[in-house]
Amino acid sequence: MPEFSVIIGPQHPALKEPESFTFWVDGEDVVRAEVRIGYAHRGIEKAAESRTYIQNIPLIERICGICNVAHTICYTQNVEYLYGREIPRRAEFIRTIIEEMNRIHSHLLWIGIAGHEIGFDTLLMYVWRDREVVMDLIEEMTGNRVSTALMTIGGVTRDITPELATRIRRGLDTLEERTKYYEKIAANESTVLARTKEIGILTREEALKHCAVGPTLRASGIKSDVRAEDPYAAHDEVPFEVITTDTCDLFGRVVVRVYETIEAIRQVHYCLDNLPTGPIRIRLPNTPPRGESVSRVEAPRGEDIHYVRSDGTDKPARYKVRAPTLGNLASLVEMLTSKGDYKVCVADIPIILAGIDPCMCCMDRTSRFIEPSSGREWVWTWDQLKKYGRRRKE
Amino acid sequence: MGVDLGPTQEIWEKEERIVAMQRELLRHIFKKAVTLRYPFKDKEKVHIPSDFRGKIVFYRDRCIGCSMCFRVCPAEVIEMINDEKGKRPMFYLDRCTHCAQCEDVCPTKSIELTPQYESAGTDRTQMILK
Amino acid sequence: MKTESYKESIRKVVEKYGITHISTITGTDSGQTIDVMPHLSCAGIKITFKAAVPKTAAEIDTLTDVLPGAVMYEREVHDLLGVKFKGHPNLARLVLSDDWARDVFPLRKEYKVVRPEPIRKA
C-alpha cells in the first residue's frame, strides 16, 4: 500500500510550540517520522557572548519560562565554579526550595496539558486551578509568578521570613492532598488509561541508546537523576527518592511525574524545617579567573547541562546550553515509528509529543541571530525566519 | 451466599473507575467559578504581594550617580544623563524586563520596583522615566 | 587530544567503563582552531574530552557508532560552526533555516552580530 507523508507544523493547533514533523503514514499507522526544529531559535548563545556575566542572568532565565529556575541555577552555579567559591548554605537551601516549587509547577502544568491532548479538558481545568496555589506561593517568594529572578552570582537576592514559610507550608499541604487525588485519577480513570497505556513505547535499550533524559528515561526503568548522581545546591542533604517505573510507555511517564511532584513537596517541607541561618549571598568580583566549567542540573524535563569558558574578561568567551528536550528528540523519533507489533496511530501523535514534555523554546536557543538588545524572548514564524535569512545573505 | 453476576459484575467494577472523577464534578456544579473576571468585574480581588516586581520608581534625592544600575541592566533600559545635581539614570520603561537587578545593586536604594502592574500604553515616548 | 586519536580514545574509555550517556558536544571557536568537546557522564562523574581542529580544515570523526546519542549534537555543531563529522548518517541542518548561506557559520567569532538601534525617540 503506498504511503504518503503528512506534515504537521510548525504552526498547528495540536502543538504548543513550533516544530515541524513529517510523518509517513500507511492508513492510520505511522511508519516513519522526521523532526525539524529551529523555529524558536533566538541566538542566546551568541547573545551571551556580548553581555557581562551579571547581565546574562535575565537572558539565561528567559531560555524557558517554565523551567527558568533550572537554567538560572545552572548558570550561576557554573560561574561560581569558575571562581572556585562556595555560596552560603542558606542560599543553597533557598535555591533548592524554589527549584522544587518550580518542578511542582511544571509537572502540574504538564498533567493538565496531557489531559488536554487526550481530550480530557476537565482534568486540565482542575489541575490548573490547583496550580494557582503554587503560582501564588512563588509570587510571594520572588515577586513574579513565572520569571523568578531570585538568583544572582554568589547566592540569592531574597530571603524567606518565618511568616512566608508558614504560608508556604499551608499551601503545600493543600497541594499534596490534591496531587494524591490526581494520582488516584491517573490510576483509575478509564479515559486516561485507555489513551496512555501501551502508547509511546520506548524500551530500556532504546532509551539508553538514544541518551534520553528526565522522566522519559525514568519511565523506562532506568534509575538516573542528576540530583542523586551529581548533587548540587542542597540535594546532598535533602532526602528524596528517584522515581522510576518500568512500563516504558506514556502511562509510566504520567506516574513518574505525579510521584515526583509529591517528592518535591516533601523536599520543600524538609528544607523549610531545616533552613540554616546565615547570609544569603557573597559578593564576588566582576571578572572570574580564566577557565572552563560544566554544570548539570535536573530541570523538570530532564538533565540540563551548561558549559562556560572564561578568558579573563567580564564577558564569557563561550556559553553553551543543552536543554533537556534536545536530548529527548532522538527518543521521540524512535517512539513515533511503528515497528513489528507496535503500531503508532496518527491519533496518538499529539499525546506522544506531549509525553516527552517538549519545551521547544529551550531546545532551539543556540547561537547567532540578532536580538533586540532587551533580551526579550522572541519567537519567529517560519516566514520571518526565511525572510531574515534572505536579508542576511544580501 | 455469593452470587456471581457475570458480565454485570464487570460493568459494576468498571463503573467504579469511571466514577473516579464524577463525584468531584457533580459537587462543583453548585459552586461558583474560580476564575476572576479581571478587568471587568473583579479588579479588587486580585491579590498582589507588596514586593511584586512592577513599574520602576526612582528617587532622585537619594541617587549618587555611581552608574552601577547602568552596568547591570540586561536590556539597555538605563541611560546616564546629567542634570543640575549631577549624573543620574533615565529609564526607558518600555524595554524593562523587571528583573530587579538595578534595585538589587543600587547602594542607596534610590530605585524601587513597585507593585504597579498596569503599565501598558500606546506611545513609547510616554514611557520614559525622567 | 589529537584529532587522529579522538575516536579511539573515546571508544576505549566508553568500553572500559560502560558509559552510555553523552550529554552534549560543545564546539568553541578559539581563534585559529575549533575545540570539539564531547561531555559524557557515568554514574555522576562528568567526563569531557577536547579535540582541536583547525578552522580551515574542520573535519573530525563521528562518534555515532560508539555513542548513538551523539547524532543531534554533531548536527548542531556542524550547523553552527562548520565542523564536518566523517561518517555521520545524516548531517542535515538542525537549527538554521534551509535557505541560510552554506558557508556562513554563526557561532564563529568572525560573524558579528548587528544589533539594531534601540528605538529611543518616537
Which residues of chain A lie closer than 8 angstroms to B71, CB-CB? 52, 54
Angle, vertex CA B71, rays to CA B56 and CA C112, nearest 5: 115
Verify that A204 and A323 share a domain, yes or no.
Answer: yes
Q: Pairing mode, if any, of strands A29-36 and A344-345?
A: antiparallel
Does the pLDDT of residue A359 top 80, yes or no?
no
Number of domains in chain B: 1
Q: Which tens digits make up the pLDDT trace of B43-96?
A: 777 888 888 888 999 999 999 988 999 999 988 889 898 888 888 898 988 888
- pLDDT for the residue numbered C38: 86
How many Å apart are CA A83 and CA A293, to the nearest integer? 10
Q: Which residues pair with C81 in a beta bridge?
A: none
Task: Kindly state the cell numbers that stand for B42.
Answer: 473583579
Q: What single string gives the DSSP state of each residue in C65-109?
A: TT-GGGHHHHHHHHHHH--EEET-S----SSS-TTS-TT--TTST
Which residues of chain C lie closer than 8 angstroms to A305, CB-CB? 23-24, 39
- pLDDT for the residue numbered A301: 87
Q: Is residue B19 part of a domain?
A: no
B109: left (phi > 0), else alpha (psi -120 to 50), else beta? left
- pLDDT for the residue numbered C1: 67
When comparing pLDDT for A191 and A300, which is higher? A300
Verify that A151 and A285 share a domain, yes or no.
Answer: yes
Q: Which of A110, A96, A68 is nearest to A257 (CA)?
A: A110
Verify that A299 and A315 share a domain, yes or no.
Answer: yes
Q: What single string gives the DSSP state of each residue in A157-185?
A: S----HHHHHHHHHHHHHHHHHHHHHHHH
The helix, strand and coil proportions of chain C, stated in percent and rounded to the nearest 5, come to 20, 30, 50
Amino acid at site B18: I
Average of per-residue pLDDT values in chain A: 81
ipTM: 0.86
Which residues of chain C lie closer than 8 angstroms to B126, CB-CB? none
Does the pLDDT of residue A90 top 90, yes or no?
yes
Q: What single string gives the DSSP state of each residue in A249-309?
A: SHHHHHHHHHHHHHHHHHHHHHHHHTPPPS-SB----SSPPSEEEEEEEEETTEEEEEEEE
* Residue A117 host element (H or E): helix A89-118
Confidence of residue A394 (pLDDT cuts 50, 70, 90): very low
Mean pLDDT, range C95-116, rounded to an integer? 78
How many Å apart are CA C49 and CA C35, to the nearest integer? 10
Verify that A126 and A24 share a domain, yes or no.
Answer: no
- pLDDT for the residue numbered A173: 92
Q: Is residue B22 part of a domain?
A: no
Q: Which residues pair with C86 in a beta bridge?
A: C61
Expressed as residue numbers, the domain containing A153 is: 43-335
Verify that A294 and A385 share a domain, yes or no.
Answer: no
Residue B89 to residues A54, A330, B74, B93: CA-CA distances in angstroms? Answer: 19, 49, 15, 12
Which residues of chain C lie closer than 8 angstroms to A327, CB-CB? 23-24, 69, 72
Does the pLDDT of residue A93 top 90, yes or no?
yes
How many Å apart are CA A64 and CA A72, to the nearest integer? 10
Verify that A179 and A274 share a domain, yes or no.
Answer: yes
Asked if A370 lies within 8 A of C95 by C-beta distance, the reply is: no
* Residue A325 host element (H or E): helix A324-327
Verify that A264 and A315 share a domain, yes or no.
Answer: yes
Confidence of residue A370 (pLDDT cuts 50, 70, 90): very low
Q: Which tens digits make up the pLDDT trace of A38-64?
A: 777 778 888 888 889 999 999 888 888
Q: Which of A87-96, A383-392, B43-52 has the lowest mean pLDDT?
A: A383-392
Q: Which residues pair with A4 in a beta bridge?
A: A25
Chains touching chain A, criterion 3+ CB pairs below 8 Å: B, C
- pLDDT for the residue numbered A96: 92
Task: Place domain C6-86 in its CATH homologous superfamily.
Answer: NADH:ubiquinone oxidoreductase Nqo5 subunit (3.30.460.80)
Verify that A75 and A115 share a domain, yes or no.
Answer: yes
Residue B79: CATH number of its domain: 3.30.70.3270
Asked if A43 lies within 8 A of C113 by C-beta distance, the reply is: yes
Which residues of chain B lie closer than 8 angstroms to A54, CB-CB? 71-72, 101
Confidence of residue A273 (pLDDT cuts 50, 70, 90): very high
C37 touches chain A (CB under 8 A): yes
Confidence of residue A101 (pLDDT cuts 50, 70, 90): very high
Does the pLDDT of residue A345 top 80, yes or no?
no
User: Which of A58, A129, A188 has the CB atom closest to B99's CB atom?
Assistant: A58
Burial class (CB in 10 A: 0-12, 13-18, 19+), A34: middle
Q: Which tens digits make up the pLDDT trace of A298-328?
A: 998 888 889 999 988 888 888 888 888 888 8
* Residue C42 host element (H or E): strand C33-42
Residue A191: CATH number of its domain: 1.10.645.10
- Residue A366: CB atoms within 10 A of its CB come to 27
A325 touches chain B (CB under 8 A): no
Domain chopping of chain C, boundaries: 6-86
Confidence of residue A103 (pLDDT cuts 50, 70, 90): very high
Verify that A221 and A281 share a domain, yes or no.
Answer: yes
State the nearest Cα–Cα gap between A81 and chain C, in angstroms.
Answer: 14
> How many Cα atoms occupy the beta-carbon half-sphere of B57 within 13 Å?
10
Q: Which of A311, A80, A235, A217 is nearest to C30 (CA)?
A: A311
Q: Pairing mode, if any, of strands A155-156 and A291-299?
A: unpaired
Mean pLDDT, range C82-93, rounded to an integer? 83
Asked if C122 lies within 8 A of B124 by C-beta distance, the reply is: yes
Mean pLDDT, range A322-343, rounded to an integer? 78
Confidence of residue B111 (pLDDT cuts 50, 70, 90): very high
Verify that A273 and A389 share a domain, yes or no.
Answer: no
Confidence of residue A392 (pLDDT cuts 50, 70, 90): very low
Verify that A297 and A321 share a domain, yes or no.
Answer: yes
Which residues of chain B lie closer than 8 angstroms to A56, CB-CB? 74
Does the pLDDT of residue A368 top 70, yes or no?
no
Q: Is residue A374 part of a domain?
A: no
State the nearest Cα–Cα gap between A385 and chain B, in angstroms.
Answer: 23
Q: Is residue B41 part of a domain?
A: no
Q: Is residue A363 part of a domain?
A: no
Asked if B100 lies within 8 A of A157 by C-beta distance, the reply is: yes
Asked if C122 lies within 8 A of B92 by C-beta distance, the reply is: no
Q: Which tens digits make up the pLDDT trace of A122-160?
A: 888 888 888 888 899 999 888 888 888 888 998 999 999
Quick one: angle between helices A250-273 and A89-118, nearest 10?
A: 150
Which residues of chain A lie closer than 8 angstroms to C67, CB-CB? 211
Q: Is residue A21 part of a domain?
A: yes
Residue A251 to residues A117, A220, A257, B13, B80: CA-CA distances in angstroms? Answer: 14, 11, 10, 21, 56
Q: Which tens digits make up the pLDDT trace of A156-170?
A: 999 999 999 999 999
Q: Which tens digits make up the pLDDT trace of A228-271?
A: 888 888 888 888 888 888 888 888 888 888 999 999 999 999 99
Which of A294, A326, A380, A393 is the best residue to mutate to test the C interface, defined by the most C CB atoms within 10 Å of its own CB?
A: A294
Interface of B with C (CB under 8 A): 76, 92, 95, 123-125
> Residue C7: phi, psi to the nearest 5?
-70, -40
Asked if B74 lies within 8 A of A152 by C-beta distance, the reply is: no
Does the pLDDT of residue A336 top 70, yes or no?
yes
Does the pLDDT of residue C72 top 90, yes or no?
no
State the nearest Cα–Cα gap between C117 and chain B, in angstroms.
Answer: 11
Answer for the pair C11, C22: CB distance below 8 angstroms, yes or no: no
Does the pLDDT of residue A94 top 90, yes or no?
yes
Verify that A23 and A52 share a domain, yes or no.
Answer: no
Average of per-residue pLDDT values in chain B: 80
Answer for the pair A168, A272: CB distance below 8 angstroms, yes or no: yes
Q: Which of A86, A280, A271 is nearest to B104 (CA)?
A: A280
Angle, vertex CA B116, rays to CA B113 and CA B119, nearest 5: 105
Q: Which tens digits make up the pLDDT trace of A6-40?
A: 777 677 766 667 777 777 777 777 777 777 777 77
Expressed as residue numbers, the domain containing B67 is: 47-129
DSSP type of residue A342 = B
C42 touches chain A (CB under 8 A): no
Asked if C20 lies within 8 A of A209 by C-beta distance, the reply is: yes
Beta strands in chain B (DSSP E): 56-58, 78-83, 86-92, 111-113, 128-129
Answer for the pair A325, A17: CB distance below 8 angstroms, yes or no: no
Number of domains in chain A: 2
- Spell out a b/e string for C69-90, using b for 16 or more CB atoms within 10 Å of the CB, else e: bbbbbbbbbbbbbbbebeebee
N- to C-terminal Cα separation, chain C: 55
A197 touches chain B (CB under 8 A): no
Q: Is residue B104 part of a domain?
A: yes
Asked if C119 lies within 8 A of B124 by C-beta distance, the reply is: yes
DSSP type of residue A28 = T
Q: Is residue A210 part of a domain?
A: yes
Answer for the pair A300, A66: CB distance below 8 angstroms, yes or no: yes
Mapping DSSP to helix (H, G, I), strand (E, B) and coil, where does residue A387 land? helix
DSSP type of residue A276 = P
Q: Is residue B77 part of a domain?
A: yes
Asked if C107 lies within 8 A of A368 by C-beta distance, the reply is: yes
Chain centre distance of CA A333:
19
B32 touches chain A (CB under 8 A): no
- Residue A164: CB atoms within 10 A of its CB come to 16
